[in-house]
């Protein structure tokens, strides 16, 4: 499931247009989906056997998954409320669901999803500055949480004695990289002079790379970092804990669906897959969402999660069935709700009251 994971620059005018890049991305997406669902996943398990396993689930197990899915849909709106004081739940719900639908249906639709978020926030009376700030904050926090979850799962695996020397080494390196990125982000927020200094280092690195490939790259990283800092610093200083809890909760809500599916299919809460192993499968699978094609990591995430669950000991067909349930629960409801929400909100634009900017 895709969330916009890069800090956006969304102007009030000049929204992204569907053109040649999207057509190429659509073709690539189609090829990837055919390869994954027609070639890769059938090698990991049997669709018919997986579907039979799903049909044999008990009613209470299905109800738990349905309940977790409903909770996830509502929790998905909370990061926007956390990052934008005064934004109502229904407003945040519309922004998130419609942009989810666009981002996860349109090939390379992340830019379109960001533009939708910006447009809805302006409709609610928020100016360009707060709209850009909330989009930037939620994108940055979603990125950090997506990177932290695999590291956290590796640490938990090591703590429970399930990590070998190679995995432990990877854990140390990955932890250093992620912690370094978070520290760098914190330094940027600490004061403007540090932000300018870090921007200068980034500009130097960009120019070094440009010289390496013998290309001119016209990017002012310093200005971008300083402007981004200025747009989010006030809200982050006051609400960073709330923002963090909301974004972690959003991803754990998705994880809970996968874990409940695994539990239902294996008939146990811990054997052979417990919450730690399921979290590792979910966290590493989610890394594929950073690849913009196909939308939402459709297919690529599924193959990764299935293979990791199998590596931890879940039988092939149950692993495939668990992934199918997770994909169906986290993708289709929000795509449908997003489409319906867009129709409802688009037909009644005058109901939103202006908000303070």
Q: What is the pLDDT of residues 316-346, one digit of tens each?
A: 999 999 999 999 999 999 999 999 998 887 6
Give residue 335's domain range.
56-350
Phi, psi (degrees; rounded to nearest 5) at 281: -60, -45
Contact 331, 1 (CB under 8 A): yes
* C-beta neighbour count of 140 within 10 angstroms: 20
pLDDT the model gives residue 355: 47
Say how far apart CA 319 and CA 307 lie, in whole Å.
8
Q: Which residues of 272-304 are buried (b: 16+ CB within 10 A; e: fewer)?
A: ebbbbbbbbbbbbbbbbbeebbbbbbbbbbbbb
Q: Does residue 242 form part of some domain?
A: yes
pLDDT the model gives residue 11: 45
pLDDT the model gives residue 348: 44
Q: Does residue 31 form part of some domain?
A: no
54 vs 20, residue with greater confidence? 54
What does 312-346 look like in DSSP terms, one character per residue?
TT--HHHHHHHHHHHHHHHHHHHHHHHHHHHHHHH
Q: Does residue 110 form part of some domain?
A: yes
Fill in the DSSP letter of residue 2: -
164 pLDDT band, cuts 50/70/90, is: low
What is the number of structural domains in the chain?
A: 1
Q: How far apart are the first and last CA of the chain?
A: 31
Residue 12 has pLDDT above 50, yes or no: no
27 pLDDT band, cuts 50/70/90, is: confident
pLDDT the model gives residue 169: 72
Say how far apart CA 244 and CA 8 lie, in whole Å.
19
307 pLDDT band, cuts 50/70/90, is: very high
Cis peptide, bond prior to residue 16, ω within 30 of zero:
no
In the chain, count H helices and then E strands: 14, 0
**Burial class of 29 by CB neighbour count within 10 A (0 to 12, 13 to 18, 19+):** buried
Cis peptide, bond prior to residue 272, ω within 30 of zero:
yes
Q: Does residue 37 form part of some domain?
A: no
Q: Does residue 4 form part of some domain?
A: no
Say how far apart CA 110 and CA 89 lie, in whole Å.
23
In angstroms, what is the C-alpha Rg of the chain? 21
Residue 41 has pLDDT above 60, yes or no: yes
Phi, psi (degrees; rounded to nearest 5) at 203: -60, -40
Contact 285, 23 (CB under 8 A): no
25 pLDDT band, cuts 50/70/90, is: low
Lowest mean pLDDT segment, chosen from 49-63, 133-147, 191-205, 292-306: 292-306
Say how far apart CA 96 and CA 341 lie, in whole Å.
10
**Burial class of 334 by CB neighbour count within 10 A (0 to 12, 13 to 18, 19+):** buried
What contacts 333, CB < 8 A, 6 or more positions away?
A: 69, 73
Q: Does residue 313 form part of some domain?
A: yes
The 10s digit of each residue's pLDDT in 222-265 is 888 888 888 888 899 899 999 999 999 999 999 999 999 999 99
Q: Does residue 42 form part of some domain?
A: no
Q: Does residue 48 form part of some domain?
A: no
């Amino acid at each position: 499931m895709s969330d916009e994971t890069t800090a956006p620059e969304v102007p009030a005018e000049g929204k992204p247009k569907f053109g040649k890049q999207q057509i190429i991305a659509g073709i690539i997406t189609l090829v990837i989906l055919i390869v994954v669902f027609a070639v890769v996943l059938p090698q990991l398990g049997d669709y018919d056997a997986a579907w039979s396993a799903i049909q044999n689930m008990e009613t209470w197990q299905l109800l738990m998954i349905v309940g977790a899915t409903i909770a996830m849909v509502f929790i998905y709106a909370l990061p926007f409320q956390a990052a934008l004081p005064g934004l109502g739940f229904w407003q945040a719900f519309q922004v998130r669901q419609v942009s989810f639908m666009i981002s996860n249906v349109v090939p390379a639709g992340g830019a379109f999803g960001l533009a939708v978020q910006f447009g809805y926030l302006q409709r609610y009376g928020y100016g360009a500055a707060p709209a850009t700030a909330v989009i930037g904050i939620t994108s940055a926090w979603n990125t950090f949480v997506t990177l932290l979850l695999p590291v956290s799962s590796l640490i938990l695996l090591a703590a429970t004695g399930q990590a070998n020397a190679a995995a432990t080494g990877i854990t140390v390196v990955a932890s250093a990289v992620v912690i370094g990125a978070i520290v760098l982000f914190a330094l940027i927020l600490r004061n403007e002079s540090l932000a300018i200094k870090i921007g200068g280092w980034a500009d130097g690195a960009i120019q070094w790379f440009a010289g390496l490939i013998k290309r001119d790259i016209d990017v002012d990283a310093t200005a971008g970092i300083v402007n981004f800092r200025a747009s989010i610093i006030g809200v982050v200083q006051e609400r960073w804990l709330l923002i963090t809890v909301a974004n972690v909760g959003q991803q754990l809500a998705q994880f809970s669906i996968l874990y409940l599916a695994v539990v239902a299919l294996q008939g146990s809460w811990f054997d052979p897959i417990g919450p730690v192993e399921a979290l590792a499968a979910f966290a590493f699978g989610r890394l594929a969402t950073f690849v913009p094609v196909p939308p939402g990591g459709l297919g690529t995430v599924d193959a990764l999660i299935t293979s990791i669950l199998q590596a931890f000991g879940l039988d092939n067909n149950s692993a495939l069935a668990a992934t199918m349930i997770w994909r169906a629960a986290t993708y289709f409801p929000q795509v449908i709700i997003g489409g319906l929400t867009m129709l409802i909100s688009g037909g009644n634009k005058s109901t939103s009251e202006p908000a303070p900017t």
